[in-house]
Structure 1
Amino acid sequence: MAYLGHTAHAQFVALWLGTVGWILIIVTIGLVEWRVWEVSDLSVITSGLAWVGIWRVCFYSHALILSNNQIMFCQRIGFSESFRPPEIAAAQVLMVVALILGLMGNASAVYGLRNVYFGLNKLKPIRLAFYTGGVLYILTGVSALVPVCWNLHSVVNNQTIIFPAEFLMPPAPVIQSVGPGIILGIFASTLLVCSGMVFLSYRVPVVPKVRPSWPGEGRSGTRVNHQGIDNQAFQTQKNS
C-alpha cells in the first residue's frame, strides 16, 4: 500500500484537539462552578456566593465553625436525590456518556492514524476508523453540549432549586450567573465537534495503478517498431 502519512496531517491535529476537548469534558464534570448564586442572607453563606454544580453544592462560611477563618461547606447531589431539577439530572447522565464516547473516539482515531503513518493495513480499515472516530467525537460534543446549554438556559431565566434543609441553601438566589463550568463545557464541545468534522472529511487519495511495460511498448502504451533502419552507405559499398 502507498504511504499515506502526508494525507492525514489535518486528522493528526484533530486528534490533539479532540483529546484536549475530552480532557476538558472531564474537568467540566468535576467543576462545582456551573451556576453561581448570589445570596442576600449572609448569616450562613458569609461569602455571599454559592456554587451549584451537577454533583455538589458549595459555599464559604465561617459561621458554621464559629471562627473568623472561612471553610468551604459542600453537599453532594446524588443520582437518587428527588429535588434535582431536570437539567442537573440530565447533566449527570449525559456528561458521563460523553466521557465514555470521547474515550472510544480517541481510541478509534489513534487506530486510524497508526495505520496511516505505519502502513499496517489496507485502506478500508483506515476509512472505517476515521469515520467511526469522527462520529464518536461529534456524539461526545453533542452529549456534553445539551446539558451545558440546558443549565445555561436555567441561569439566564434565574430558575431556582428547592434544596433540602441540610444543604443550608436559600430558597432562591438574588441573582445567578454563568460559572466557569458552563463556559468550559461549551468550549470543549466545540473542539470535539470540529475534530469530528475533520475526521469525517478525510478522503483517501486515488493511487494510480502501475502496469509493467512490455517490450515494444512506449510510454503511451503504443507498440514501437524496433526493426533496424537500413544503412544506405553500407548498402552502397556492398553493391560496389
Structure 2
Amino acid sequence: ATMSWLCNSANCQFSVFALTTIGWILSSTSMGLVEWRIWYMKDTPLYPPGIACVGIFRVCIYRHRTNSTTTKFCYRYSYQDTFLPFEIYMAQRFLLTASIFGFFGRAFNILALRNTSVKIFEEDTYNSFIVSGVFNVAAGVFILIAVLQNYDAIINSRGITFPPSLQMPFKPDVQEVGTAIQVAGIGVLPMLLTGMFSLFYKCPLMLYQIFPTT
C-alpha cells in the first residue's frame, strides 16, 4: 500500500511540474504583451482620437488617420522615464523577479523528480520539493500583486502623465482591462496551487524512508 501511494505521489508531482510550467509560461508571456490596459481616446482639440495599449514595458498607440488607414506607434519605457505610475514601476520588478523565481522553481522540481524516479529518497529530495514550492509560491505572489495593482488602477480610472510627444491625455475616455492581465491572472493560479502542493506533499516520501518495507 505504501509503495502504491508512493507511486501515485510521484505521478502527482509530474502533474504538478506540468501545471507549474504552464503557469510560468503564461506569466512570462504576459510580460511581453502590451494589452494590460486599453485606453479609448476621443477626438479633442488637444489630442487626436485613437486607441492605446498600455503595457508594463511599453505603450502602443493606434491612430485612425483616414477611414481605411491606421498608424501604430510604440514607445518602450526606459529607466530614465519618471512619468511611470507606481503600479507599472513595481509590476516591472515583480514580473521579472517572478520569471526568475519560476525558472528556479522548475529547476528544483526537475531535480526532485529525477531523484524520485531513480528511487533516491534522501533529504535532498525533500528539500528540493520544498525549495521548488517556495520559489513557485513567491513567484505567484509577485505576479498576483502586479495584477491586482494594475487592475485596481483601471477600476479607479487612474491616469498616466505620458510625455507630450505621445499626444495622450492624462486619462482616457474609457479604460478597460486588457488580455495581458487575464493571461497573467490565469498563470498565477497554477503557480500558487502547485507551489503549495510541493510544500506539503512530501510526507509520503518521508514515511517511506523512515519505515521502509521489506
Is there any run of 5+ residues in structure 1 with no aligned partner, and where? Answer: 212-240
SS in 1 for 2:207: coil
Partner of 2:114: 114
Q: 2:56 aligns with which of 49, 54, 79?
A: 54
Q: Cα gap change, 1:181/1:10 in structure 2, threshold over 3 Å: closer, same or farther?
A: same
Partner of 2:69: 69
Partner of 1:88: 88
Partner of 1:27: 29
Residues 11-51 of structure 1: CA distance to partner in whole angstroms, max 9, x if unpaired? 111111110111111110001000111111278655x3211
Q: Distance in 2 between matches of 1:146 and 1:59?
A: 26
Matches within 5 A, 1:186-225: 186-202=185-201, 203=203, 204=205, 206-207=207-208, 208-209=211-212
SS in 1 for 2:82: coil
Is there any run of 5+ residues in structure 2 with no aligned partner, and where? Answer: none
- Identity, in percent, stands at 33
Q: Distance in 1 between matches of 2:127 and 2:121?
A: 11
Q: Which amino acid aligns with 2:78?
A: G
Bigger Cα Rg: 1
SS in 1 for 2:59: strand
Residues 136-177 of structure 1: CA distance to partner in whole angstroms, max 9, x if unpaired? 100000011111110000000000001001122122111201
SS in 2 for 1:206: helix
Partner of 1:132: 131
RMSD: 2.2
Task: Give 1 or 2: higher helix fraction.
Answer: 2
TM-score, normalization by structure 1: 0.79
Partner of 1:214: none
Q: Distance in 2 between matches of 1:210 and 1:31?
A: 52
SS in 1 for 2:78: coil
SS in 2 for 1:73: strand
Aligned length: 206
Partner of 2:156: 157
Q: Which amino acid aligns with 2:165?
A: E
Q: Cα gap change, 1:181/1:154 in structure 2, threshold over 3 Å: closer, same or farther?
A: same
Q: Cα gap change, 1:126/1:148 in structure 2, threshold over 3 Å: closer, same or farther?
A: same
Partner of 1:103: 103
Q: Distance in 2 between matches of 1:56 and 1:139?
A: 25
Q: Distance in 1 between matches of 2:107 and 2:74?
A: 36
Q: Which amino acid aligns with 1:206?
A: L
2:26·2:187 contact (CA, 8 Å) conserved in 1?
yes
CA drift at 1:123: 2.4
